């Protein structure tokens, strides 16, 4: 199986875009991630999948906690900053939720304590026990086919 073709195939699954944030000795580290999912309602658990080569890996392990910031449709710049897709260092001001650094304007902010860590190939899965969350009104930034996207029409179907 071809690596690039598999990656391209997985890109047909449309997702939102998050920035994972954590803090070690007062220094905030952020990383763009779309491998995020809600796992369990009772107890409230979420999951992020982090590349073994990412700086974020050691930071989450050290902090023992992280926050997930689900980006709104006007926050592509944050996605690009925290994926290293912009040139030069950008100054980002963080807010706080439950004493975690968060992106103030994010659509959804979820704070968690690391509950379980699973090795999965070249990634590590961090299951987080949710300690707090807060939502804003707005529409999400999307990622599909290797490109950032936004919703362009309201959906009429309801579940
Ligand atoms: P670095 O590469 O050092 O940091 C990432 C960038 O964030 C750097 O440019 C850094 O300057 C900036 N930054 C960090 N902290 C701050 C701060 N406090 N203030 C200002 N700037 C800061 N990788 C995964 O492992 N899992 C995923 O689910 C995943 N999904 C992705 C989805 C999308 C849409 C994209 C574009 C990328 C995704 N990646 C994912 C790749 C990942 O975002 C990049 O490889 C990222 O560069 C890895 O970050 P790092 O922790 O190694 O740290």
Asked if the model's pLDDT at residue 8 lies above 90, the reply is yes
The lowest-confidence range among 21-35, 65-79, 103-117, 144-158 is 144-158
Ramachandran sector of residue 25 (left: φ over 0; alpha: ψ -120 to 50; beta: rest): left
Two tokens at 82? 């925290």
Asked if the model's pLDDT at residue 155 lies above 80, the reply is no
> How far apart (Å, rounded) are the C-alpha atoms in residues 92 and 98?
19
Distance 11 CA to ligand 1 centre (A): 18
| Confidence grade of residue 1 (pLDDT, cut at 50, 70, 90) | confident
Which residue's CA is minimally distant from atom 39 of ligand 1?
33
Which residue's CA is minimally distant from atom 42 of ligand 1?
83
The structure's pTM equals 0.96
List, chain by chain if needed, residues with CB within 6 Å of any ligand 1 atom.
Answer: 17, 28-35, 49-51, 54-56, 79, 81-84, 89-90, 92, 143
């Amino acid at each position: 199986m071809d690596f690039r073709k598999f990656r391209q195939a997985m890109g047909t699954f449309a997702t939102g875009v998050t920035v994972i944030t954590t803090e070690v000795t007062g220094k905030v580290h952020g990383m763009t991630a779309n491998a995020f999912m809600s796992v369990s309602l009772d107890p409230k658990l979420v999951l992020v999948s982090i590349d073994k080569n990412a700086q974020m890996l050691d930071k989450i392990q050290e902090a023992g906690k992280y926050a997930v910031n689900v980006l709104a449709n006007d926050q592509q710049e944050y996605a690009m900053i925290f994926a290293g897709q912009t040139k030069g260092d950008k100054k980002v001001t963080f807010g706080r939720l439950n004493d975690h650094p968060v992106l103030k304007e994010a659509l959804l902010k979820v704070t968690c304590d690391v509950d379980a860590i699973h090795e999965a190939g070249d990634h590590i899965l961090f299951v987080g026990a949710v300690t707090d969350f807060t939502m804003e009104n707005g529409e999400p930034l999307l990622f599909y086919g290797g490109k950032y996207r936004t919703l362009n029409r309201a959906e009429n179907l309801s579940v």
